[in-house]
Amino acid sequence: MLYKSKESKNMNQANNNKIFQDITDVYEFIKDKQIVTDSRSLIAVPSEAVFFAFKGKHADGNQFVEEMYAKGVRAFVTNLESSNFQHLEGLWVRVPHTLTALQELATFHRLQFPHLEVIGITGSNGKTMVKEWLSQLLQGKFSLVKSPKSYNSQLGVPLSIWQIKAHHQIGIFEAGISKPAEMVKLAQIIQPTLGIFTNIGTAHDEGFHSRQEKIREKLQLFQHSRLIIYCNNYEDITQEILKSKPTYQTLTWGRKANAHIQILNTERHANRQTLSIQYHFQNHLSQEKSGNYLLSLPFTDMASVENAMHCVAMLLYLGYDLAEIQSLIYQQFVGKNKALPMRLELKKGIHQCTLIDDTYTNDLQALSVALDFMNQQRQKQTFGQSLKHKTLILSDILHTNMASENVYQQVARMLQSNAISKLIGIGQDIRTLAVFQEETKDIEKYFYSDTEEFIQDFLQGRIHFQNEQILIKGARKFQFDRITAYLQEKVHGTRLEINLDALVHNLKFYKSLLKPQTKVMVMVKAFAYGSGSAEVASVLQYQNVDYLAVAYTDEGVHLRENGIRLPIMVMNPSEETFDKIIQYRLEPEIYSFRLLKQFLNYAKMAQINMATPLPIHLKLDTGMRRLGFEVMEIEEVGKILSQHTALKVASIFTHLAGADEERHNTFSLQQLTNFQKVANGLENLLGYHFIKHALNSAGITRWADYQMDMVRLGIGLYGVEANGFLQQHLQNVTTLKTTISQIKNIKKGETVGYGRRWEAQQDSKIGTIAIGYADGYDRRFSNGLGKVFVKGKLAPIIGSVCMDMSMIDLTGIDVEEGEEVIVFGKEVSVIDLAKSINTIPYELFTGIGERVKRVFFTE
């Protein structure tokens, strides 16, 4: 097939009427562009888009070419009959059939990623659900790409495949067909390595002679796959798979005895069901796995259970264990969906205890899920901490159709097999049943007839908890939330509360301003702007951001030691820390020839045991005049790097000096365009693609056209919109709180604090609060510049801020000692506070002292 083009007259004349020899030629031209097939779609950057004009039943895409051109699109693929757009300049590819061309391009794109694990999903129902759920469940561990919505057709599939990028680890794509011979094409484009066949229904039967034919056609998707997953309750799917003499391995689930994952029994409840499972299969590492498990699924309808089981089977194959899967399902469907009245919360308890709080329901299944969850948490704790004893506070079990004896016998068995060492039983049944007493005789036990009785014992010190893992599991009517309130650690004094939901909200807001393909690097330097880097990074990892950045190597090491797997850039790496950079898979920023040479020498030494080049990030100084190579120096950098394959450029970036101010627009634009020129030049010189990025938070909101491949989000994530004009879209993340240690009444004319700098103009009530400049409460807040929020009112600082304390004027406020005070947060804006002492929120955030406790919460 010949691809012809007519290029802009203003572009290279020699290229005019260029003949593309084949698909790879065209691919080179459009591989980084957004493909647009519908003139109504949102186009991120028109100059970076390519429009495919399709001739369909209802519309002819050629009619929209001029419209797209007017929008700024400059690359087009049309069919041969399309009119000659002589008067329009751009890249024109004319092909006999546009859809075929798109499919071929997508196939070629897929071939660029031979190591990508690709899950193909087909079947009559549930494809989209299974794809969505699977991606939710897998996203904590893998970088994923999936079909948008239900893009599963001859057109949707190539568009989905087009999104694959080098950093992806797993692709999940669905394929749907309505007539014979369609699947072969989709199979070629997707090339799934693993497959899920959901089920076969009657939809689209018209196109096929029989169900069998339809199944055979769909199975074409998996011709070259390693494995497929299906439910072997479906007789005709099973038959067709056997008949086709598959070269792939199968992993089946269902009721039949020969299923790899056999469902022995199902118990239904009002809002979920529990499957008793027996399994025996080989996972992706060819390890044999077998055992039994009680799996609780928060659905009652068969379709959801079927969708979920396909996902469970895939996760098992990929190496997850069932306890892990159960916990993911819990987080996914129960934790987030407040409508489902089941939840497990992890809390910090008194005396080094941890609490697992589930004070809503209590029946056998809910108890078994909670005990699993407890084991799961326990594994996480073993790192660095001594293993805690397991304690269970349990109310009567609610049951309707089983004899009490049987119920408590089962409970006793669960306690034994989960190695519970202490039991507190609350309720009449649990207290009195002899059989229960008998079967739990090895366990330390305490019984109470109601919650109040237990609380009294606890308050009077007759029962004590220390370094235990406590599961609090009670039916609602027992009001175990009162117990939780007593056992939860109360953080007194000065603390910084970090609202993780607000943080996620802010992340999503900034993502909504980005093109779908733009990556996000989040700056977690300086202890994540004072908020606590490991905790914030965990949330970001769960939210699938692409990169993290820290200032120093040790900050990166700290993140790795806390289970952060995301790529991490270190902005100021020093030579002594190169060992750690390598050991902890950190990626250094290289900003000078001195650093480049040091790292090259180091890499050459270390390379002995290393198969792949080390990633580096080049910093370019385009006007900040801080760190970075000069624009003139980059060519030399390129020459050095092309001679040394030990290092590979992962990204190049620059930093704007005045992104947040209109008056620097000309300067910023100059920085951005200079940067792009230099970055593109380097890419040409080195002959490979790398990430280019320039924008910080302020830049993201003001320079949308310069997002390039990635942006670097900082202060915005923490709730401050540096430009000020989008502040209303962000939520407050951090709240600095303290308490009033003492209240005094003083007489008119008395003075307060060092240097006697404040004098009472009237008889006054004053309070001393437990925060001073050693906690990061700036001394410039002295004498009225700082205000705190007490009982709904603002109280000004009086006198000088001391090292550990400050005094406030409480005159006219009805308040007692011990009352909580908000230093900044939603009620006292950190932005206004910063302004009042002529600084910026960054300084206030990062200045918060180490001794101030960080408390993280979700709402």
Ligand X SMILES: *Cc1c(COP(=O)(O)O)cnc(C)c1O
For ligand X, give the closer residue by CB, 307 or 696. 696
803 is in an annotated binding site: yes
For ligand X, give the closer residue by CB, 251 or 549. 549
For ligand X, give the closer residue by CB, 573 or 772. 573
Tell me if residue 56 falls in helix, strand or coil. coil
Pick the catalytic residue from 243, 604, 754, 791. Answer: 754
By beta carbon distance, the residue nearest ligand X is 714
Q: Which stretch binds ligand X (CB under 6 A): 107-115, 592-600, 608-616, 706-714?
A: 706-714
Q: Which stretch binds ligand X (CB under 6 A): 348-356, 420-428, 632-640, 694-702?
A: 694-702
For ligand X, give the closer residue by CB, 94 or 702. 702
Residue 416 Cβ vs ligand X, minimum distance, rounded to whole Å = 54
Q: Which of 259, 397, 715, 788 binds ligand X (CB under 6 A)?
A: 715
Torsion sign (Cα): 553, 556, 558, 561: negative
Residue 851 Cβ vs ligand X, minimum distance, rounded to whole Å = 25
Using rule CB under 6 A, residue 714 touches ligand X:
yes
For ligand X, give the closer residue by CB, 557 or 698. 698
Q: Which stretch binds ligand X (CB under 6 A): 210-218, 249-257, 668-676, 690-698?
A: 690-698
Pick the catalytic residue from 525, 619, 692, 765. Answer: 525
For ligand X, give the closer residue by CB, 660 or 809. 660
Residue 547 Cβ vs ligand X, minimum distance, rounded to whole Å = 11
Residue 571 Cβ vs ligand X, minimum distance, rounded to whole Å = 6
Q: Which of 722, 752, 766, 798 binds ligand X (CB under 6 A)?
A: 722
Binding to ligand X in span 487-526, by CB under 6 A:
523
Q: Which stretch binds ligand X (CB under 6 A): 100-108, 237-245, 444-452, 713-721?
A: 713-721
Q: What are phi and psi of 143, to 5 degrees?
A: -85, 120
Q: Which stretch binds ligand X (CB under 6 A): 29-37, 466-474, 666-674, 695-703?
A: 695-703
Per-residue x/- marks for ligand X, 622-651, CB under 6 A? ------------------------------
Residue 721 Cβ vs ligand X, minimum distance, rounded to whole Å = 10
Amino acid symbol at 692: K
Binding to ligand X in span 748-787, by CB under 6 A:
none
Using rule CB under 6 A, residue 671 touches ligand X:
no
Instruction: Describe the crossing of helices 235-243 and 211-219 by its angle, rounded to 10 degrees.
Output: 60
Using rule CB under 6 A, residue 620 touches ligand X:
no
Give the number of other Cβ atoms within 10 Å of residue 270's Cβ: 8
Tell me if residue 499 falls in helix, strand or coil. strand
Strand order through the sheet with 227-231: 144-146, 170-174, 117-122, 194-197, 227-231, 249-254, 261-268, 273-282, 288-297
DSSP string for residues in 620-660: EESSS-SSSEEGGGHHHHHHHHHH-TTEEEEEEEE--SSTT
Using rule CB under 6 A, residue 655 touches ligand X:
yes
Residues 6+ apart with CB under 8 A from 288: 280, 281, 282
For ligand X, give the closer residue by CB, 539 or 808. 539
626 is in an annotated binding site: yes
Give the number of other Cβ atoms within 10 Å of residue 250's Cβ: 18
Residue 698 Cβ vs ligand X, minimum distance, rounded to whole Å = 6
For ligand X, give the closer residue by CB, 395 or 622. 622
Nearest to 531 by CA among 718, 348, 712: 718
Residues 6+ apart with CB under 8 A from 130: 121, 196, 198, 307, 310, 311
Give the number of other Cβ atoms within 10 Å of residue 367's Cβ: 22
Amino acid symbol at 822: I
Residue 688 Cβ vs ligand X, minimum distance, rounded to whole Å = 23
DSSP 767: E
Q: Which of 712, 737, 765, 854 binds ligand X (CB under 6 A)?
A: 712
For ligand X, give the closer residue by CB, 185 or 712. 712
Using rule CB under 6 A, residue 161 touches ligand X:
no
**3-state helix/strand/coil string of 559-586:** HHHCCCCCCEEECCCCHHHHHHHHHCCE
- For residues 800 and 779, is the Cβ–Cβ distance under 8 A? yes
Per-residue x/- marks for ligand X, 368-407, CB under 6 A? ----------------------------------------
Strand order through the sheet with 389-395: 345-348, 354-358, 468-473, 389-395, 422-426, 444-448
Residue 567 Cβ vs ligand X, minimum distance, rounded to whole Å = 16
Q: Which stretch binds ligand X (CB under 6 A): 306-314, 562-570, 708-716, 777-785?
A: 708-716
For ligand X, give the closer residue by CB, 263 or 550. 550
d(CA 302, CA 613): 50
d(CA 243, CA 494): 70
Binding to ligand X in span 281-300, by CB under 6 A:
none
CA distances (Å), origin 109, targets 55, 158, 163, 409, 519? 24, 9, 9, 60, 20
Residue 715 Cβ vs ligand X, minimum distance, rounded to whole Å = 4
Residue 523 Cβ vs ligand X, minimum distance, rounded to whole Å = 4
Residue 733 Cβ vs ligand X, minimum distance, rounded to whole Å = 13
Number of residues that bind ligand X (CB under 6 A): 11
Using rule CB under 6 A, residue 734 touches ligand X:
no
d(CA 205, CA 216): 13
Residues 6+ apart with CB under 8 A from 719: 502, 503, 506, 730, 731, 732, 733, 734
- For residues 120 and 134, is the Cβ–Cβ distance under 8 A? no
d(CA 736, CA 842): 14
Q: Which of 696, 707, 734, 800 binds ligand X (CB under 6 A)?
A: 696
* Angle value at C-alpha 612, between 611 and 614, nearest 5 degrees: 130
Per-residue x/- marks for ligand X, 523-562, CB under 6 A? x---------------------------------------
Helices (H), ranges, 607-762: 634-643, 665-686, 697-702
d(CA 592, CA 597): 9
**E strand intervals along 387-441:** 389-395, 422-426
Is 230 assigned a catalytic role? no
DSSP 609: G
For ligand X, give the closer residue by CB, 455 or 631. 631
Is 754 assigned a catalytic role? yes
Using rule CB under 6 A, residue 697 touches ligand X:
yes
Binding residues are 626, 803
Q: Which residues bind ligand X (CB under 6 A)?
A: 523, 655, 696-698, 712-716, 722
Binding residues for substrate are 626, 803
**Residues with catalytic function:** 525, 754
